[in-house]
Structure 1
Amino acid sequence: MRLRRSTFMAPTLGLLVSGLVLTAPSPASGSLEAHGSPGSHGGGKGRLAVETVSNPRADLVSGGDVLVRVTGAAADARVTLLVNGRRTKTSLVAQADGSRTGLVTGLRKGRNVVTVHRGWSMAAEVVTNHDLTGPLLSGPQQKPFYCETEAYGLAPAQQPDCEAPTKVTYQYRSGSSFKPLADPSQVPADAATVTVGGRTVPFVVRLETGTINRAVYQVAGIYDGTDPSPTAPESTWNDRIVYTFGGGCNGGYHQGAATGGVLDATMLAKGYVVASSSLNVLDNNCSPIISAETAMMVKEHVVETYGVPVHTIGWGGSGGAIQQYTIAETYPGIVDGIIPSISFPDVVSTNGVNADCRLLQRFYAGEGASWTPEQKRAVTGFLNASSCQSWDVAFGNRLTATDSCPPIIPVEARWDPVTNPDGIRCAAMEQFVNQVGRDPRTGFARSPLDNIGQQYGLEALRSGAIDAEQFVTLNERIGGYDPAGAVVPERSRADLRAVRASYRYGMLNTASRGLAETPIIDLRTYADVAGVPANFHTAEWSFVMRDRLRKANGDADNQVIVAYLPVPELAAAASAQALQSMEDWLTAIGGDDRRGSKAAKVVRNKPAALTDSCWLPDGRLVPTDWEAGGDACSSVYRIGSNPRQVAGQPMTQDIVACALRPIRWSDYGVAFTSAQRSRMRAAFPDGVCDYTKKSRGWAPAARPWQRF
């Protein structure tokens, strides 16, 4: 239940509280104001109002404290703050915009009423407080859960919450590296300096490490000689946060020994506070839903430590990009703008290509061994023939029950069909059990993986790269996976419950919710050339998301794609340019008080100089039209495809389990013998993919901020 907005004019607190009217809860805040809704945050005049600002979701506060803002009270007005009817020791500190802020502590678990009154006027907010160990929205947590606090220099921790006392340490910048600093008041002579907001100070960083939501979090910011305060922000903080996300994708059951990284000299030197946690690394936790929950909780703590940010920028590559795209889509507001690099749109889409590559690599080692390198490449769609191989080597084991288990999980605790059938399964889909459920017949998480009806090599056949016999042999021999992730002769058939969950909860990112209102700079480190490590990060994925944005919203004007070669100098220049461009973009949006939707404001405030572009090998940044081609960028940065696109999926690549139709022999442009036709019918007994129709098991996307 929540407090309904109403007007109260009474001389005593008892009458004020007794006058509250209770109604059904809203999805977010439970606020009431003495005389209607608050206007802008600024100013000391007008209607009295109180709101949570460390977490805009007043129903998802954690840790027993919350930063609140009070507006509508003149600078000399006496304002009383109460929690659950009792006075607090919280000091409300005047801010430059005329509001007052204060950190409310001692919240009880569950619902709390935070009340302010000024004379005869009153306002209140219902705040729901949760344990700092979670969960708040992601559902039941994995158990067992192995702790790794000691990897960060924290005290040992115990399962399942893995809590450890918070630790503050200091680093200083010397040359091109950070070094430990025992006493921040004694800065070594070799320390660099940094200038933020016109103030030059030694490049000393305050690094806070602790545990939130069973993850180890880290927060870094320039240290100005005083401890940070949420009501008196640091002089060396630019009032902005960068939240970093790490890559990979794995099944969880452990805390993780690394965060997304917070000691970034470029970001810190500009005055950003940089935050991350171990459950914002997808290789520790392949659920963007858990990642969103963790980022929300860590960000709340950052705000309660440093103050209210102007905006928060997301940053990270590969799995870090998946988290940014998915969080902005399904849990909007945690990050305000995103800079994904070497991006993928989501886990489910990516896992389909990963699964295809393992099957293709096995085919090429067997029946397809005599194929030429070009024929193999043509079926994969990649420009680099080794891209499919790198998928198999790097991530094929994430499909299996135990091959990807991290060393922290004891061998005796892992699943074995005979000796330990209830043991830990490390497949990536384990992180989605709360969304998809578990198959009671197998004990494994229900899987959306499907290749029924998928015609591998279809475009290669049509182009003449492979012949009819090769096409038929490939499709009758390709196989699929059993529930434990072993390759089997039968194709993989999706569990339609898992397919529905994929569409509903953003595991397949349709770009139809929060992404339309999110500024996006997609940094594409170009990995489509021979000799580049981990070259499964191919460029077509940036355009998969672009086409999804267009399909869902009519355009993709809020996304900019910038490509660069994997050269350190170009990488540094591209990163710096993207960060500054996002800063300019978000600042312009924040200053736009004209009418229009949030999506419209995002597009009209995009900096004029920020366009699709590429960094040429000589270090020049030049604009491009990726679709039109024919320019300097297209000559350096060719865009390929992948096995699912070669099999007929459109660029949106948003079909999890294709609808089926009968084989039409006229579609292929080649002649099949009678024997080959019979073998094709046997390979596709239910028909072939019809990509003009929605996926089997399709469901409309649920509204954002789903809870499990």
Structure 2
Amino acid sequence: MKKWFTVGFLLLATLMGGYGIWILNQPEDPYLARQVKQTAPSEDNFLLDFYPHISKVSRPNEWYHFPIPLGDTGPNRSLYSGPNQYPFFCMTVDSDLGQPVVDNQYGNGVPVFNDDKQIVGFSKDCGLPSQYTYYEITDTGIHNVTAESVKNDRHGLLVRVEQGTINRFIYAIVMPVGFDDLPYRNISSNWNKKLIYQFNGGSGIGFRQGRLSAVSLIKNQIEQLKLGYAVVSSSGNKTSYTYNMLLAEDTAARVKKQFVSLYGVPLYTVGIGGSGGGLAQYLIAQNGSGILDGLIPLYSYPDMITQTTYALDCDLLNNYFTFRAKDKSYWRDWENRQRIEGMNAINDFPQKAGFMQPINQLKAGFFPSLPTGSSECINGYFGLSSFINNPKQGFLRPLFSDDVLEKTQWSYWQDLVAVFGHDEDGFANSTWDNEGVQYGLNALVHHEISVSQFIDLNRKIGGWKSQTAMAQEEIVMPFGAKLPIWLTLWGNQNISDMSPLSPEVAPRHIGSIHAMNQAYRSGQVFIGRVQLPIIDARHYLENELDMHHMSASFYSRLRIEQATGQHENQVIWVADKDFNPTTRAFEMMDKWLLAIEEHTPEGILKAKPHELTDTCFDKNGDIMASGHDVFDGKWNNRMPGECVKHFPMFSTSRIESGAPWNGALFKCTRMSIDVAVERGVYGDIDITPSLDTLKSIFPTGVCNYDAKDLGRPNDI
């Protein structure tokens, strides 16, 4: 063993030495010049009282008079989503829009420079004067043009793009215009009176304004722009920059107000967007904002916060399989891991940065081995626990000075601290909880793992340490910021160790009931109360171990059924990765929305095109199967439908622990081990020889998934 310690430390020393030589030869990071070195003081701002649920609460009257005058910045504080978050990194430069407006001389925010590269002031709220320009779309691409340059040289589709800031985020309005409309800001003879709201995805923890590229926005909706649709978006509606859905709604409502104040009320507004941009549509529609009339969520989840429940299991499980398991060789078969993780895992699949595993094994004193496969937990969710759950981590790029880094809590929970509250140490409350969760229960019941393996897994897996006790990852970047080497793989330094009081058991994590209640009330959780037209579309990506697993669309369906008693307003499409169903979805959504005579649940269902139903498509766009039962499977306790036979569906670690398929459960009601045995939780497995061990692992009992979610308020 000493030999491996020596080899490991020599390897680490070599890496660190190489890193030192590398760093001396690198150009200065462009973010350093704009680094935030001082945090602006927080100011009070109105926060909506969302009791009992945000969908039942009226929004306050708008105090800002839209439209924003050209050359002015829009409102820099939200209407009803609480105080501004600081520090806040401005990204107008990253969006090719120039520097933000100077709003203070106190050193708060990013520095603003003159032409001689001297600091003339600072910007804490990242204001950008409202402005517009033109782009011409031709066979050769998308070209930024002036009104004068296209008057006598007309080749393609012309769009007017207005950009500025609302709620400190960059907004954009893309309007197809005629050449006779050029002198005017708010006239368009080419608009078909239909509006698209573009939402975007990514994982975000706040603290950044975000990028919004006009060219990217045009590219995303180029086919619809050609048909006369207008498009609006905001960096505040890209979840790379915030998952605060209250702020996202507040921002989207104001961006739409800006649009309506210029062009009038559209015939309808349809949402589009993938991943986080899909779940944002579900939540904004559910929460009663009136912003959207129809939804086209792509690669969607029901919401972010219930996704964290199983996503934050991933690193716990990988830590167990790699470092803590008694029989590590068993878990080198990735099909065995899949039975516990639920999401797909494939032997011989190339793992991203798999070389980090032996480095970490050496560091921990284990015999090193390269991974022989990968899983969605790794391919899709690697690093998530550090980024969203660790308040000490921050960003890899130097957006903020060391002093600001030290004084700020960087986490998804902190992004919602105004809603969730904080603990006695000042750290934002977290909803994540795994008390009573019996990992691998289904595999045990189905005789896929032994009692010994089940016991070892649940005894050692542990939970995440408290926010206060967490430490930053140990990371070196010898090959550049795009390929960091993690010396604390799977966040292992932040996972609970064996308890001194019970050396055989790693304690679990107990989440905040208050935060869970607030998550429900504030509309961060999708509870299914949406009756607008929905075409939920995705590519089938399970074989690529992509994080956008197909089953997520059906978690939403189950919640809609539970809330409304039906799901006919939600159509699910799954396509081969080589066919893009988005254009077809727009066509069907247009037909559906234009047929609605009464905006009631009955009127919406009556207007639904008869040919619009659950469907799967092959790579050529041909229908493989369609109908109400084509996606039947384990999620609804039926035999596999035709689409599921073509596109197999996977689950999650919590489902494989016995939890319901809808995934809407923060904290389980618990029952004693004795009661669990009486109720047949362990099937035909004789668990009696291990009762005392199980009771030591689960001193407060195990999850009773027939009972309610303790985190959900009784009045919702």
Q: Same fold (TM over 0.5)?
A: yes
* 1:540 paired residue among 544, 547, 551: 551
Local SS of the residue matching 2:454:
helix
- Relative to its length, the structure with more strand (as a share) is 1
Q: For residues 270 and 337 of structure 2, what CA distance do their matches in structure 1 show?
A: 40
Gap change, CA 1:286 and 1:406, over 3 Å in 2: farther
2:385 counterpart of 1:396: yes
Shift of 1:401: 1.7
Q: For residues 635 and 303 of structure 1, what CA distance do their matches in structure 2 show?
A: 46
Question: Which amino acid in 2 is paired with 1:680?
Answer: L
Gap change, CA 1:557 and 1:226, over 3 Å in 2: same
* 2:88 paired residue among 145, 159, 182: 145
- Bigger shift: 667-676 or 396-405? 667-676
Map of 1:557-572 to 2, 5 A cutoff? 557-567=568-578, 570-571=579-580
Question: Which amino acid in 2 is paired with 1:435?
Answer: V
Gap change, CA 1:229 and 1:243, over 3 Å in 2: farther
2:415 counterpart of 1:431: yes
Shift of 1:363: 0.9
Partner of 1:609: 611
2:436 counterpart of 1:453: yes
* 1:249 paired residue among 185, 198, 203: 203
Q: For residues 164 and 189 of structure 2, what CA distance do their matches in structure 1 show?
A: 24
Partner of 2:61: 60
Q: For residues 449 and 376 of structure 1, what CA distance do their matches in structure 2 show?
A: 22
Q: Deviations over 1:209-254 (max 9, x none)?
A: 1111100111111121255899985221011111111112221111
Shift of 1:632: 4.5
Q: For residues 495 and 354 of structure 1, what CA distance do their matches in structure 2 show?
A: 18
Question: What is the number of equivalent residue pairs in this alignment?
Answer: 557
* 1:483 paired residue among 451, 466, 473: 466
Shift of 1:347: 1.5
Q: For residues 698 and 228 of structure 1, what CA distance do their matches in structure 2 show?
A: 53
Map of 1:5-16 to 2, 5 A cutoff? none
Cα RMSD, aligned residues only: 2.8
Gap change, CA 1:700 and 1:248, over 3 Å in 2: farther
Q: For residues 231 and 701 of structure 1, what CA distance do their matches in structure 2 show?
A: 48
Is the CA contact 1:216–1:259 (under 8 Å) kept in the aligned structure 2?
Answer: no
Is the CA contact 1:64–1:131 (under 8 Å) kept in the aligned structure 2?
Answer: no
Local SS of the residue matching 1:656:
coil
Shift of 1:701: 6.4
Q: For residues 383 and 588 of structure 2, what CA distance do their matches in structure 1 show?
A: 33
Map of 1:129-278 to 2, 5 A cutoff? 132-157=75-100, 158=102, 159-175=123-139, 177-183=141-147, 185-186=149-150, 191=155, 202-227=156-181, 234-258=188-212, 261-263=216-218, 264-278=221-235
Shift of 1:671: 4.0
Partner of 1:127: none
Partner of 2:313: 356
Gap change, CA 1:470 and 1:634, over 3 Å in 2: same
Q: Deviations over 1:59-80 (max 9, x none)?
A: 43253237xxxxxxxxxxxxxx
Gap change, CA 1:172 and 1:452, over 3 Å in 2: same
Q: Deviations over 1:76-103 (max 9, x none)?
A: xxxxxxxxxxxxxxxxxxxxxxxxxxx9
Map of 1:524-603 to 2, 5 A cutoff? 524-529=538-543, 531=544, 535-567=546-578, 570-571=579-580, 574-589=581-596, 592-593=597-598, 598-603=600-605
Question: Which amino acid in 2 is paired with 1:637?
Answer: F
* 1:650 paired residue among 645, 648, 660: 660
Is the CA contact 2:438–2:657 (under 8 Å) kept in the aligned structure 1?
Answer: yes
What TM-score, normalized to structure 2?
0.73
For structure 2, the 5+ residue unaligned runs are: 1-47, 51-57, 103-122, 347-374, 471-493, 498-506, 633-637
Is the CA contact 1:359–1:479 (under 8 Å) kept in the aligned structure 2?
Answer: yes
Q: For residues 206 and 620 of structure 2, what CA distance do their matches in structure 1 show?
A: 43
Shift of 1:327: 0.7
Question: Which amino acid in 1 is paired with 2:652?
Answer: N
- Relative to its length, the structure with more helix (as a share) is 2
Q: For residues 682 and 508 of structure 1, what CA distance do their matches in structure 2 show?
A: 33
Q: For residues 641 and 712 of structure 2, what CA distance do their matches in structure 1 show?
A: 39
Q: For residues 608 and 550 of structure 1, what CA distance do their matches in structure 2 show?
A: 20
Is the CA contact 1:219–1:262 (under 8 Å) kept in the aligned structure 2?
Answer: no
Partner of 1:370: 329
Q: For residues 229 and 466 of structure 1, what CA distance do their matches in structure 2 show?
A: 72
2:516 counterpart of 1:499: yes
Shift of 1:136: 0.6
2:489 counterpart of 1:472: no
Is the CA contact 2:74–2:164 (under 8 Å) kept in the aligned structure 1?
Answer: no
Q: Deviations over 1:136-156 (max 9, x none)?
A: 111111012121111223232
Shift of 1:606: 0.8
- Bigger shift: 303-312 or 477-486? 477-486
Partner of 2:691: 677
Partner of 1:705: none
Local SS of the residue matching 1:60:
coil
Local SS of the residue matching 2:84:
coil
Q: For residues 131 and 620 of structure 1, what CA distance do their matches in structure 2 show?
A: 47
Partner of 2:681: 667
Partner of 2:349: none
Shift of 1:271: 0.9
Question: Which amino acid in 2 is paired with 1:488?
Answer: S
Q: For residues 253 and 406 of structure 1, what CA distance do their matches in structure 2 show?
A: 14
Q: For residues 515 and 98 of structure 2, what CA distance do their matches in structure 1 show?
A: 39
Partner of 1:86: none
Q: For residues 267 and 403 of structure 2, what CA distance do their matches in structure 1 show?
A: 46
Question: Which amino acid in 1 is paired with 2:622?
Answer: R
What TM-score, normalized to structure 1?
0.74
2:613 counterpart of 1:623: no
For structure 1, the 5+ residue unaligned runs are: 1-25, 29-56, 67-102, 107-129, 192-201, 703-708
Runs of 4+ aligned residues of structure 1 deviating over 3 Å after TM superposition are 57-60, 182-185, 187-191, 226-233, 258-261, 628-632, 670-675
Question: Which amino acid in 1 is paired with 2:188?
Answer: E
Is the CA contact 1:317–1:341 (under 8 Å) kept in the aligned structure 2?
Answer: yes
Q: For residues 61 and 559 of structure 1, what CA distance do their matches in structure 2 show?
A: 32
Q: For residues 613 and 282 of structure 1, what CA distance do their matches in structure 2 show?
A: 28
**Identity in percent:** 29
Local SS of the residue matching 1:312:
strand
Gap change, CA 1:544 and 1:64, over 3 Å in 2: same
Question: Which amino acid in 1 is paired with 2:667?
Answer: A
Q: For residues 354 and 661 of structure 1, what CA distance do their matches in structure 2 show?
A: 25
